[in-house]
């Protein structure tokens, strides 16, 4: 059942299932909280209380906020943790991967561990060699830039088709149809455009300040990077030594938690069981 949290500037939608230590799941740009449906159910079955949140400007959350940065998203997630009585493990995909790092650095007493899935957490530079050599990366960059620049739902849907290579889990067509319906609502593509132009420098700047365990999950076929493993390793390298580790899901694109929820959830549970559990 959807619950709402009113905070300065708008309203956040979320739902909660299960009992136990709190995990908060945050989706990426241009998605909604249903992306975590399978993961949330398995985590709840494993003994966690699981909250899935619609980011500002997405799903059932309001879309008239004045700002859409990772720092804004971090503050939203911390507000949800306070409402639900943290501390919590924070899981963020893509744009929200940077947000969970900021939240952990800002209020370490509220965050016991973070999981970053395909995260945009560091300042990005075009890999010109990769653009020449890697057709998957070249196409992904063209579609991402085009969707943001022209605020085109059609180009975003083409990007999603490219970002889900190979395996298509049951229910993915319905999920993408719901995402499309969201993005065709007035102002929603403008939100995506604003988030897409929000540089992840605020997230990259805090990686060295992290004190909680961190897991970075990458898809081996993620078209957003010429070398997804290297990007994940770069994120971990910017953290204090020994704090983070990288898991790569073979055959996954930019949405490993949707394509391979069992594998990603198993990696998260193993990570938490190794000492990151709150």
Partner residues linked to 16 by β-bridges: 51
Would you call 218 helix, strand, or coil by DSSP? strand
pLDDT at 275: 57
Residues of the chain whose pLDDT is less than 50? 277-278
Give the model's pLDDT for residue 129: 84
Q: Read off the DSSP letter of residue 31.
A: -
Structure tokens at 8: 């300065």
For the chain, list the domains and their CATH numbers: 3-276 (3.40.50.1820)
Q: What is the pLDDT of residue 93?
A: 98
pLDDT for the residue 276: 54
DSSP state of 203: H
- Nearest one of 167, 162, 126, 155 to 254, comparing CA atoms: 162
pLDDT in tens, 101-136: 999 999 999 999 999 999 999 988 777 887 888 899
Task: Specify the pLDDT at position 277.
Answer: 43
* First and final C-alpha spacing in the chain: 25
**153 closest CA partner among 182, 111, 175, 173:** 182
Q: What pLDDT, on the 0 to 100 scale, is given for residue 169?
A: 84
């Amino acid at each position: 059942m959807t619950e709402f949290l009113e905070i300065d500037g708008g309203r956040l939608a979320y739902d909660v299932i299960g009992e136990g230590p709190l995990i908060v799941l945050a989706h990426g740009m241009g998605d909604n909280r249903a992306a975590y449906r399978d993961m949330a159910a398995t985590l709840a079955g494993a003994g966690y209380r699981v909250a899935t949140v619609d980011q500002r400007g997405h799903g059932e959350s309001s879309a008239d906020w004045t700002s859409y940065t990772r720092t804004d998203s971090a503050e939203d997630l911390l507000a949800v943790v306070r409402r639900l009585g943290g501390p919590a493990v924070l899981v963020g995909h893509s744009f929200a991967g940077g947000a969970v790092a900021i939240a952990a650095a800002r209020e370490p007493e509220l965050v016991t561990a973070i999981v970053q899935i395909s995260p945009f957490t560091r300042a990005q530079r075009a890999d010109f060699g990769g653009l020449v050599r890697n057709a998957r990366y070249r196409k992904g960059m063209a579609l991402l830039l085009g969707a943001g620049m022209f605020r085109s739902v059609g180009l975003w849907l083409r990007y999603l088709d490219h970002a889900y290579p190979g395996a298509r889990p049951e229910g993915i067509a319905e999920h993408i149809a719901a995402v499309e319906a969201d993005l065709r609502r007035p102002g929603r593509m403008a939100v995506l455009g604003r988030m897409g132009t929000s540089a992840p420098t605020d997230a990259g700047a805090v990686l060295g300040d992290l004190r909680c365990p961190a897991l970075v999950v990458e898809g081996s076929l993620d078209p957003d990077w010429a070398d997804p493993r290297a990007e994940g390793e770069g994120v971990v390298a910017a953290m204090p030594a020994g704090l983070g580790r990288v898991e790569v899901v073979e055959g996954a694109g930019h949405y490993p938690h949707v394509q391979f929820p069992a594998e990603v959830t198993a990696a998260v549970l193993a990570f938490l069981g190794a000492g990151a559990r709150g």
